[in-house]
Structure 1
Amino acid sequence: MTPQATVSSPATSSFAAASARAQELLARGMLVLALLASSLAAMPEQAEAQGRQTRLLGVWNGFNEHAVVVEVNNTSDSDADLLLTVQTSAGIALGAEQIKLPAKGTQHVALNKYGIVDNHGTYVITAANGGGSLEDISGLTVFYRFLPPGSVEPLEYAFAIPFVELKTGIVAGIYNSFDPSGGVNPVFNWLSVVAPPDARTPFRATVQVYDQGGTLDTARSFRIAGIEPGQRLDFPLGHEQGQVVGIYRIVPDSGTYPYSAFLSRYNQSPDGGFRSAFFLESVSGSCSPETLPASTMDPATNWGEIANISSETAVVDVLVRDQSGVVRRDEQIRLAPYSQQHFLLNVDLGSRNLGTFSAACSNPDAPTPLLVQSVYYGHLNSQTAPLVEWAYASQATESLADAALPAVFHAPINTFLGAFNWYKTAAGAV
């Protein structure tokens, strides 16, 4: 679940009346969507690498007065005929509809017509004929929180969650309820765990919660007694304690049970509205994470975050380069078990600059998997900082060898609502 909203959603037609200034502000906020979408570029190739895909799974959340839209993309040279089925976490079917996608086409499906208000659940996409492969189908779910008509800005936040990628074994993440604007309200952190609809038994696990110093907090750790197939459950993780930061680990009872987990952060403003929201996937970690983009545009506060999710001390090489490839930080740090360290990349890059941030085990074979992410908090201008206008995050996955990289990348584009779309690329080190 998510924090309850207190404002009403406007009709789509209200966007036409938004002022040019509001559209500028919206474009800044909508960078969240453009950048998250570009991070999905390899999704079709990942699906192909995992084998024949006959079902795609997504999540929706109608709390907080969200307008929820499913974006479905067809990257193949052939038309696709799909079926989208929506259900609640309680297993109640809400409806279904057919999606006809032309070759290289995209279609957006609004879910609010299924009565999703103050509820959450999942949706499944299959081939309309029941058995076709979906390896060339990719997409994401977009969540919008609108402001009433006549407001200076059309919306408070927007963020996206890609189609669910099921995992097995232990996954982990960073919770952080500190207000990046320096306010007194903790940032809502909700941990969502999803069991796939075709699972045969409930999902059970222990969630281990560690404080900032890496000490296991037994009082805050908890059991997931059972998540039924197709069900999604949300758990508060951090904000109920005030402003805190730490690591969580999900340890399933069965190491072979496929499931999904992610953390959503909602930054509330003093007036009860919201400044921003974004999601962070729960991951297994890697000693060789990929390089991440860094950006202090426009302007933004950029934090590079590293967490050691193992029981041993990790020796980590940290590297920051500017957009010209010049090294701005090159150091080695030691991270205690289940601890983390954050780097203010503005110190390295300066204001309104671009670059890259990377962290990897000094010994790539060390048993100390890392979580590495780059978190961006945007400001209206330098005078209004540290007040946050928008926020998003980039997460590192395990670096792939050149031979394992797909030959073609795909990324969705969406310029509605005056959104800017930025596609980021970076050359590897030589």
Structure 2
Amino acid sequence: MEITPKSQCVNRTASLSVFQETPLRLMSRQRVYNDEYNRDPNPEKMYLGSREYFAEDGEVWTLPVVRKVHRQILNDPTLCHDDTSVLGQSEFNRASTALILGSESIAIVEKRADSIQVPGGNGALFMAAQFLKRWFTITDPSSPAVYISEPCWETHVFTFQGAGFSDIRRYLYWDHEKLCLAIPQWLEDMENAPEYSIIVLQVAAHWPTAMDPTPAEWRQIAEVMKRKRLFPFFFVTAQGLATGDLNKDAFPVRHFVTERFELLCAQSYSKNFGLCGERVGSLTIVSRDNPSLIRIRSQLMLAARCTWSTPPHLGARIVATILNNPAFFAEWQANLRSMAERLMLVREKLAEELRTLGTLRPLNHIRRQIGLYMFADFKDSEIMYLKKRRHIYLTSIGQINMSLMNSQNLSYVARCISEAVQSGLATSETAQPAEL
């Protein structure tokens, strides 16, 4: 029998990576779309899926109050670059708690609510998922169900899976036939959920549908969740930018607090402050009592220290300065109203343009939508038509950033959408089986 020399075995092993078994993760659908846009040589190509708010001239808009406060901070001779607290700047945390809950919230008065500073909305989502997996122990810790909306932001699914949750379910949020919220089915899904399930609830323009329940519908949802002992985890994407009213956008969270829920709330300041590159977010905790809050904070402090040590300074300092200064706060509210009103006006103009063109599929539901994005519930064939025939790229699920629509391109985009719908109808008619 031939024996392989020991030296050859060692060399063969040494030539392999210790990560040899690491699988290749396929690119997300959105990344594929982005790469296709970047490779498209057509000079007329358009990308309408960006995350930022754009002004009428097509440039990313920096809120005037943010620019003013940023300049003030940079010119402060006392500014230094020392570490902040592990849980972030205290003035930022207090202001964040008051912004989402209301300064006179019963949870604040009873000292059972607080926020921690995190790197953006994703940081808040990550920290909350990790904490819930470790300490949500009122039920069997190996099997609490997590309910996420259908459709949803895929990052929510990935984050809870990454935290170790194995029982991830969907509640129906959108009715594709009626083009509206599926409230009856949603309530039925909540009724059928196991007690102490974790329910992820998006607030201030649900992603991707851009439609939120009414206050009356939120009350129904809260009533079912309270009776079923379900745990609410709110994700607030852009308070104030959805409707132009900070208090109106925060109603669901505040209502659940008045109903004595314990809850977590992740909040991003990327869009409503125009700070996408600064990664500013907060995670708000509302607990049963103050001793519980103290214990929760201690665990979050340990988790933050082991994850990012301390959060970044500048973006949170800008937000804290604006929220804690009455004049800056009033100016920020005015900026938000102007942004929200423009988005609503563009949405109306697009809907009217589509109606005038005689678009063959009703798209009137976009008039009822709010926030930065429009969700037309496009078919894949329609998204493909826009991309291949008109070089118009949307998000992978077919959203349009409404701030990218302006007087120069709105009519053209509307005409292309109408063509895409016509093309999609023709394709589906061709695909229908012949009658026997």
TM-score, structure 1 length as denominator?
0.24
Q: Which has the higher contact order (CA 8 A, sep 6+)?
A: 2
Say which structure is richer in strand.
Answer: 1
Say which structure is richer in helix.
Answer: 2
Q: Which structure's CA Rg is the greater one?
A: 2
